[in-house]
A and B are shown apart, each in its own frame.
Chain A
């Protein structure tokens, strides 16, 4: 499968030559069997099909190097598989989103210190801009011509926008029953956009098969996945830096494929090894919806493997029934003394409303899942209410209006007169 030079790549590359400039990345290593190979457009271990992880040499990187970098994820470029000059090529410049001190929500839940990492502030309003930016940079170096993905919606937005900004073609595949808001917020960027009559796992399978046919298509979360997934580490780096180069005691992360949770843990571990933060215990918790909770079910049953389910939940951005990183989520939460919990769709809606009413943050359904699970873990005593806690709001509520439209409404509808205002009892 020789790869032709793309218009983006400075030099021709193919699978048998060393990849282009991927910064501190040095090799690909299988998470399952440890088999090591050179960097390139590989995503599954040739020995056992296991997922491949990036290995690095971070050299003499310092906190000062990071602090002097741009106000986006590229301040962490020395920790990512991207070239040193990555910020100079057109991209959406995601990251460095707000870490909000959530005293009102903390008080409502009986917590002492709570922060919300609000990733709805990214260019296309979800954390997916982070992973796509890294995937785009790596895809350029690997010589791909088209930026593609199967998606539950947020990734679709991010890929279509990033490709538009980079001036390349996008090819996006989503389940046809996706929220209308996410259809529109993908279609508006142009590119090839296909709705598929099936659920996300069906779409993912189709994308994997297309990736086997279209050599120059970079399906960011399939055949560029080892690079793409590293983008989620920036959530962990930012939380630590924004806390003053310190790790939180507890963190609650939504789980779809499970990649975000495992990469936040990887980021914390890297920062410890580099000596950028104090090495102290932290606990990682995963949040799922009851209607798609295969990792939660495996955690509660004490299993190491995750049995796939058919998703049925309003939290469509988390509706991955066959989560590839599920076993690694189990590893992380068990190693750190955390847990994986799930909540009903009604609790998801309550979670969205609670976050909005207490902190003025309108999260999407995944945010509702995370707040719902946070509450459940506090109520059942699993989470320590006296420990500093961070939760991730991974996307914007404007993308999932259907979830709350039946339960929120104006306080009143009145005539444009002071008398009507007084009569309505609103003073």
Chain B
């Protein structure tokens, strides 16, 4: 089982007791989010929509890669990987 580090955006820190970074386990992003939910009940429904897909205005990165350019929820999360969850805003 691989342990990864997950950066939590301000908007979700109510679920993590104010922590900006937490540990989670899982070999894919899907498993990591499931593990996050087990430790921080309610957080998965903020990241995923009713169909279990990543919400339209959430960007998730594994390392430097936007998972939308990789395999989405099936993107591998190797041990020690950094997962970042970020609200999608873009400026110019």
Residues of A at under 8 Å CB distance from B?
1, 32, 43-51, 128, 149-152, 154-155, 200-202, 204-205, 208-209, 211-213, 220-222, 225, 228, 256-257, 259, 305, 307-308, 310, 317-318, 320, 322-325, 327
In whole angstroms, how far apart are the Cα atoms of A46 and B59 in the complex?
15
With A155-B91, A305-B56, A325-B90 given, name 20 new contacts (CB 8 A).
A32-B56, A32-B57, A43-B89, A44-B9, A44-B87, A49-B87, A49-B88, A50-B56, A51-B89, A200-B92, A208-B87, A213-B20, A221-B89, A222-B91, A259-B91, A259-B92, A307-B68, A308-B68, A322-B66, A327-B56
Contact flags (1/0) for B56-92 with A, using CB distance below 8 Å? Answer: 1111010010101100000000000000101111111
Residue B55 lies at the interface, judged by CB distance under 8 Å to chain A: yes
Q: Which residues of B contact A154 (CB under 8 A)?
A: 92
For B92, give its contact among A32, A45, A317 (CB under 8 Å). Answer: A317
Contact of B88 with A322 in the complex, beta carbons under 8 Å: yes
| Interchain nearest-CB distance for B70 vs A (Å) | 12
Residue B1 lies at the interface, judged by CB distance under 8 Å to chain A: no
What range describes how many residues of B lie at the interface?
A: 20 to 34
Contact of A322 with B11 in the complex, beta carbons under 8 Å: no
Contact of A212 with B20 in the complex, beta carbons under 8 Å: yes
Residue B41 lies at the interface, judged by CB distance under 8 Å to chain A: no
Contact of A49 with B92 in the complex, beta carbons under 8 Å: no
Contact of B92 with A155 in the complex, beta carbons under 8 Å: yes
Q: Which residues of B contact A151 (CB under 8 A)?
A: 91-92
In whole angstroms, how far apart are the Cα atoms of A209 and B46 in the complex?
18
Majority secondary structure, B binding face: loop
| Interchain nearest-CB distance for B46 vs A (Å) | 7
In whole angstroms, how far apart are the Cα atoms of A12 and B61 in the complex?
36
Contact of B56 with A201 in the complex, beta carbons under 8 Å: no
Q: List the count of A-B residue pairs having beta carbons below 8 Å apart.
A: 101
Nearest neighbor of A149 in chain B, beta-carbon distance: B91
Residues of B at under 8 Å CB distance from A?
7, 9-11, 20, 46, 49, 55-59, 61, 64, 66, 68-69, 84, 86-92
| Interchain nearest-CB distance for A100 vs B (Å) | 24
Q: Which residues of A contact B87 (CB under 8 A)?
A: 43-44, 49, 208
In whole angstroms, how far apart are the Cα atoms of A205 and B86 in the complex?
7
Contact of A50 with B84 in the complex, beta carbons under 8 Å: no
Nearest neighbor of B66 in chain A, beta-carbon distance: A308
| Interchain nearest-CB distance for A75 vs B (Å) | 25
Nearest neighbor of A308 in chain B, beta-carbon distance: B68
Nearest neighbor of A48 in chain B, beta-carbon distance: B55
Q: Which residues of B contact A256 (CB under 8 A)?
A: 90, 92
Q: What are 6 A-B residue pairs whose CB atoms fall within 8 Å in the complex?
A: A44-B57, A50-B56, A212-B7, A222-B89, A256-B92, A318-B92
Q: Which residues of B contact A308 (CB under 8 A)?
A: 66, 68-69
